[in-house]
Amino acid sequence: MTSSNTIHRRHFVKRDGRDLFLYGYEPHTLAPLPEEDGEVAKGGELRHHPLRNEWNIYAPHRQNRTFKPSSADNPLAPSIRGGAATEIPFTDFELAVFENKFTSLHADAPNPAEIPRVNLSRAGGRCDVIVYSPEAEGNLNTIGQDKRRLLLGAWNDRYQTLFDQGCEFVLPFENRGDEVGVTLRHPHGQIYAFPFVPRVQQDAMNAFENGYDLAADIKAFTPDYGVAQAGGMTAFCPPFARFPFETWIAPIETKRGPWDFSEDQLDGFAHLLGDVTRRYDEYFQRPTAYMLSLHAAPRSADDRFHFTAQFYPLLRAPGRVKYLASVEQSTGAFTVDVMPEMAAKTLRAL
């Protein structure tokens, strides 16, 4: 960790009106470079699925989002004086968060047109992009502990701000790899702030409120399902995992979200984010395609909600993709090719 835990934030309003936040251990004072004009979508709409009891987001403008640009056209890189403008109009930064230009959720989302017998709603909320580093190559392991702690500081700042703005659930996440559909190689994640609690998180909230004790399960799981521990945090393959090599990171004691973590827990969480990524890449012998999501308490949840960060790898063995096919997509019942206890033993040994 750096000699100072202080994290500075600079708020900059882009030419098109979108927010850009620059986080760093040193104050960001660089002058902005010229930006290009451009229209910004104001979100899509929400439609309710009556048989699954869930709200889904419809945002057709996202079909036009940036798709696998060349390194010269990387929109997440720092801007170059005299060169093409990027999303970050500065020649350098430590970590950046900006409002997604191709957003699915927006505070000013329009009211949808009526459809007979369909329950619709505004797609309020917000979608942010979080850029881990100015370097175009890297991952949660290689960016190092200081940058991971900075990432946690940015996540916690966005949690607080978005909850204060009335969002009901905030989901920081990262998609990595072609198999997940990643269109930008630059190391980055996203944050979706929902105007409602999605069904998966509502079910989790109900389970905790009805007495489910994840902390007790973690203690019971550790001998056979544990992968690593650090600073009061544990990484483990849950025995009910749906993906081969699915791994969770959680505090050993119940905490609603990383905003409640001690300094030791923040250090431990940051370390394990890199450690799990390292173990995946070592085992699969390549940059592992995965989905990472942070399951913190919704705004309305009480202190029984237990935070988890969940990695879902899209590989079941080196060189073999785990496809979500008809059974999984149609029923929600996953077929898992690797027993979680064997996955934990394999990752633990690396």
179 shares a domain with 324: no
Would the pLDDT of 183 be above 70?
Answer: yes
Alpha helix positions (H), 64-176: 145-164
Q: Among the three residues 152, 170, 196, which one is the final residue of a domain in this structure?
A: 196
What is the tens place of the pLDDT at every residue in 280-308? 999 999 999 999 999 999 999 999 999 99
**What is the distance between the alpha carbons of residues 295 and 305, in angstroms, rounded to a whole number?**
10
Secondary structure of 147-188 as H, E, C letters: HHHHHHHHHHHHHHHHHHCCCCEEEEEEEECHHHCCCCCCCE
233 shares a domain with 189: no
User: Is residue 24 a contact partner of residue 94, using CB atoms and an 8 Å limit?
Assistant: yes
Tokens of 221: 């799981």
Residue 207 lies in a domain: no
Would the pLDDT of 79 be above 80?
Answer: yes
223 shares a domain with 191: no
> How many domains is the chain partitioned into structurally?
2
184 shares a domain with 44: yes
pLDDT at 63: 66
Would the pLDDT of 330 be above 60?
Answer: yes
Would the pLDDT of 166 be above 50?
Answer: yes
User: Is residue 189 a contact partner of residue 120, using CB atoms and an 8 Å limit?
Assistant: no
What is the tens place of the pLDDT at every residue in 193-247? 999 999 999 999 999 999 999 999 999 998 999 999 999 999 999 999 999 999 9
pLDDT at 1: 36
Q: What mean pLDDT, rounded, does the chain reach?
A: 94
Would the pLDDT of 271 be above 50?
Answer: yes
Residue 169 lies in a domain: yes
256 shares a domain with 112: no
Would the pLDDT of 181 be above 90?
Answer: no
Angle at 263 between CA 311 and CA 139, to 5 degrees: 35
Residue 40 lies in a domain: yes
Domain that holds residue 104: 8-196
Q: Among the three residues 162, 196, 230, which one is the final residue of a domain in this structure?
A: 196
Q: Name the nearest CA neighbour of 204 among 331, 78, 340, 307.
A: 307
Residue 122 lies in a domain: yes
User: Is residue 295 a contact partner of residue 309, using CB atoms and an 8 Å limit?
Assistant: yes
% of the chain exceeding 90 in pLDDT = 85
**What is the distance between the alpha carbons of residues 149 and 264, in angstroms, rounded to a whole number?**
11
103 shares a domain with 26: yes
% of the chain exceeding 70 in pLDDT = 96
Q: Name the nearest CA neighbour of 190 among 166, 164, 163, 154.
A: 154
CA 30, 98, 74, 177 dihedral sign is: positive
Residue 14 lies in a domain: yes
pLDDT at 43: 73
Query: Cα–Cα distances in Å, from 196 out to 123, 163, 174, 256?
Result: 10, 12, 21, 18
pLDDT at 89: 97
What is the tens place of the pLDDT at every residue in 309-319? 999 999 999 99
Residue type, 24: G
60 shares a domain with 190: yes
241 shares a domain with 179: no
Segment 250-254 shows an average pLDDT of: 98
pLDDT at 72: 72
255 shares a domain with 160: no
Residues paired with residue 234 on neighbouring β-strands, in sequence order = 229, 250
129 shares a domain with 236: no
254 shares a domain with 128: no
Q: What is the CATH number of the domain that holds 268?
A: 3.30.428.10
Residue 274 lies in a domain: yes
Q: Among the three residues 169, 196, 223, which one is the final residue of a domain in this structure?
A: 196
What is the tens place of the pLDDT at every residue in 122-133? 999 999 999 999
Cβ neighbors of 340 (< 8 A, separation 6 or more) are 225, 237, 238, 239, 240, 241, 246
